[in-house]
């Protein structure tokens, strides 16, 4: 089962629901994902399981949307895998800061994206026009409610401009946060359905002209930090009344001579959680519709 946000194709009305066996049914009295994340885990589970047992409609009759809306934010973690530390050291002129943060008590956490800029399955991610090395970063993302409880897991592509970050760590906001830099899968796998989130396989492939030009695999077992530790640090000095999505860092980084090109397709799979596939476009192509889709989600049909 997955918790999803979706729009009716005939009316455009948006709901939060439970998706199971290709049938989707709305959660009772929940009008947005942000509202769901304002509830306790116990309340959310009761509503979700109730919807999963209700009569639904075929999923192909609705448009699945990113599972984030309203005031919910997307944050991300950095240098949480050994491979990520090695890659940052390789690309950076300030190498010691990455080895220091990898071993420090305090993790690297940064704001990634507001809800309305998030793209999802089949929608384009982008490369910055001023970046020469852009890579996808496949990550397990935590869907966290307003009191810091993990509701579930999803797939995130935390796009990154390696050369911009490598030039100067103060450029991280530009390397990490730009139009078309954040993709999240449509479904959230509830935490109570995942036996052990610390041993999930993560796979990435990049296809170019029908040929796989890069592939990699890792596991959340290689995370240097616990998921609970990342959430606790994020909630130390900031509140999230509409919950938050926290991406947990990547353990798959291509060699320094690899970069995404326009027309590539990025495919990510995480065992027990879900999958995500996005074409790579220019920034103009990737996000010119995003603001319009806030009030008219069916706009997304035109770009998938």
| pLDDT confidence of residue 84 | 59
- For residue 222, the domain's CATH number is 3.90.850.10
Q: CA 206, CA 262: separation in Å to the nearest integer?
A: 12
Query: How far, in Å, are 41, 162, 177, 241 from residue 38 at the CA level?
Result: 9, 35, 26, 6
Same domain, 120 and 152: yes
Q: Is the pLDDT of residue 85 over 80?
A: no
Mean of pLDDT values over 210-219: 97
- Residue finishing a domain among 42, 65, 88: 65
| pLDDT confidence of residue 100 | 82
pLDDT band at 203 (very low <50, low <70, confident <90, very high): very high
Q: Which residue has the higher pLDDT, 100 or 263?
A: 263
Same domain, 250 and 297: yes
Same domain, 22 and 109: no
CA 273 to chain centre: 12
pLDDT band at 95 (very low <50, low <70, confident <90, very high): low
Q: Is the pLDDT of residue 249 over 90?
A: yes
Same domain, 43 and 101: no
Same domain, 78 and 140: yes
In total, how many domains does the chain have?
A: 2
Sign of torsion, CA 293 297 302 303? positive
At 56 the three-state DSSP class reads coil
Same domain, 137 and 258: yes
pLDDT band at 81 (very low <50, low <70, confident <90, very high): confident
Same domain, 141 and 221: yes
Domain housing 161: 73-303
Q: Is the pLDDT of residue 262 over 80?
A: yes
pLDDT band at 246 (very low <50, low <70, confident <90, very high): very high
Q: CA 50, CA 207: separation in Å to the nearest integer?
A: 40
Task: Report pLDDT digits (tens) over 22-64.
Answer: 999 999 999 999 999 999 999 999 999 999 989 899 999 999 9
For 170-224, the DSSP string reads: GGHHHHH-STT-EEE-S-BEEGGG-S-GGG-EEEEEEEETTEEEEEEEEEGGGBS
Q: Is the pLDDT of residue 243 over 90?
A: yes
Mean of pLDDT values over 152-179: 94
Q: Is the pLDDT of residue 103 over 90?
A: no
Cβ atoms 115, 72 nearer than 8 A: yes
| pLDDT confidence of residue 93 | 54
Q: CA 125, CA 182: separation in Å to the nearest integer?
A: 7
pLDDT band at 101 (very low <50, low <70, confident <90, very high): confident
Same domain, 169 and 39: no
Q: Is the pLDDT of residue 92 over 70?
A: no
Mean of pLDDT values over 135-158: 98
Q: Is the pLDDT of residue 303 over 60?
A: yes
Cβ atoms 44, 151 nearer than 8 A: yes
């Amino acid at each position: 089962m997955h918790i999803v946000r979706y729009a009716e194709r005939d009316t455009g009305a948006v709901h939060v629901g439970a998706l199971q066996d290709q049938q989707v049914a709305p959660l009772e009295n929940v009008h947005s994902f942000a509202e769901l994340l304002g509830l306790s885990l116990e309340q959310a589970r009761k509503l979700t399981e109730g919807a999963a047992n209700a009569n639904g409609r075929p999923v192909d009759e609705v448009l699945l949307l990113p599972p984030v809306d309203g005031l919910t934010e997307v944050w991300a973690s950095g240098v949480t895998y050994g491979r990520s530390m090695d890659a940052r050291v390789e690309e950076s002129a300030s190498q010691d800061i990455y080895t220091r943060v990898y071993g420090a008590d305090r993790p690297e956490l940064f704001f990634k994206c507001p809800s309305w800029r998030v793209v999802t399955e089949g929608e384009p991610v982008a490369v910055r026009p001023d970046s020469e090395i852009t890579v996808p970063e496949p990550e397990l993302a935590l869907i966290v409610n307003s009191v810091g409880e993990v509701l579930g897991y999803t797939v995130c592509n935390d796009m990154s401009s390696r050369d911009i970050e490598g030039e100067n760590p103060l450029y991280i906001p530009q390397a990490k946060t730009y139009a078309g830099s954040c993709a999240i899968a449509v479904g959230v796998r509830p935490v109570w359905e995942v036996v052990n989130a610390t041993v999930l396989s993560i796979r990435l492939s990049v296809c170019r002209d029908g040929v796989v030009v890069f592939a990699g695999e890792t596991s959340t077992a290689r995370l240097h930090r616990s998921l609970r530790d990342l959430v606790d640090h994020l909630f130390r000095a900031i509140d999230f009344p509409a919950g938050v999505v926290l991406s947990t860092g990547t353990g798959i980084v291509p060699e320094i001579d690899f970069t995404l090109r326009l027309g590539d397709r990025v495919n990510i799979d995480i065992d027990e959680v879900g999958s995500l596939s996005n074409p790579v476009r220019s920034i103009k192509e990737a996000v010119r519709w995003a603001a319009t889709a806030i009030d008219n989600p069916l706009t997304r049909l035109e770009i998938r």
